[in-house]
Amino acid sequence: MRKPIAFIFFFLSACLSGWSQSGAITTYTVVENSKWLDGQYRNGYSIALDANQPVALNSWASMIGSGGAKTYFYDPDNLIFVTENADLPEISPQKLKVYAHFEYDGMHDATLLTLWFQQPDGSFITTENNPEVSSAIYKFMMGFRFQSLADLKDHIYREQLQIAKNRFPNSEDVPVGPMHPLKGRSNQ
């Protein structure tokens, strides 16, 4: 009788322990959903980013700012930006208007990014009316997710390097850490 009770107790505690730690596991999922934009629910795509909001915003600005695209605040209260004339040929042959919402996730110190892709005719891209773009949107958002994570690692590295230089100002000739995680040996 003791063995089954001990086994059940062990099994339940292992399940609860695993469940409580599941929030720390990052998921690589792009979710298509209806989210509030411009006074109504519109089709958008969401993904969790490991980067905090400032890093995610800087990553977005550096990635989307090329090719004549112009980004500005659309809704400053909700941290929604719009990028006009976004050239994303893998998603659409036409230039798009992309709305980006960066929502802080305090539980994981992360950012939930939601993107809406508006075509020149005013309609929003959905997998229902454009099933062929589903894979392209997924790849685009996953690529951005990994870029923002790389930018976060670079940001942390630079912060730590500055802290070390401030604490040990006379050790210019001693390298701080063996190598930069993304770029090799630091020359700063």
**pLDDT at 8 (0 to 100):** 53
User: The domain 25-165: what is its CATH number?
Assistant: 3.30.530.20
Residue 180 in 3-state DSSP? strand
**pLDDT at 162 (0 to 100):** 86
Confidence of residue 51 (pLDDT cuts 50, 70, 90): confident
Render pLDDT for 141-152 as a digit per residue (tens, 0 to 9): 999 999 998 998
How far apart CA 136 and CA 147 sit, in angstroms, is 16
Q: Of the given ranges (52-61, 88-97, 173-182), which has the lowest mean pLDDT?
A: 173-182
pTM above 0.75, yes or no: no
Out of 74-83, 97-106, 112-121, give the one with best mean pLDDT. Answer: 112-121
Render pLDDT for 127-171 as a digit per residue (tens, 0 to 9): 888 888 988 999 999 999 999 989 989 988 988 888 888 887 776
**pLDDT at 165 (0 to 100):** 82
**pLDDT at 17 (0 to 100):** 46
**pLDDT at 118 (0 to 100):** 93
Which sequence spans correspond to the domains of the chain? 25-165
**Short-list 28, 27, 46, CA closest to 36:** 46
pLDDT at residue 41 above 70?
yes
134-139 LR contacts (CB < 8 Å, sep 24+): 134/32, 136/90, 136/91, 137/30, 137/45, 137/91, 138/30, 139/90
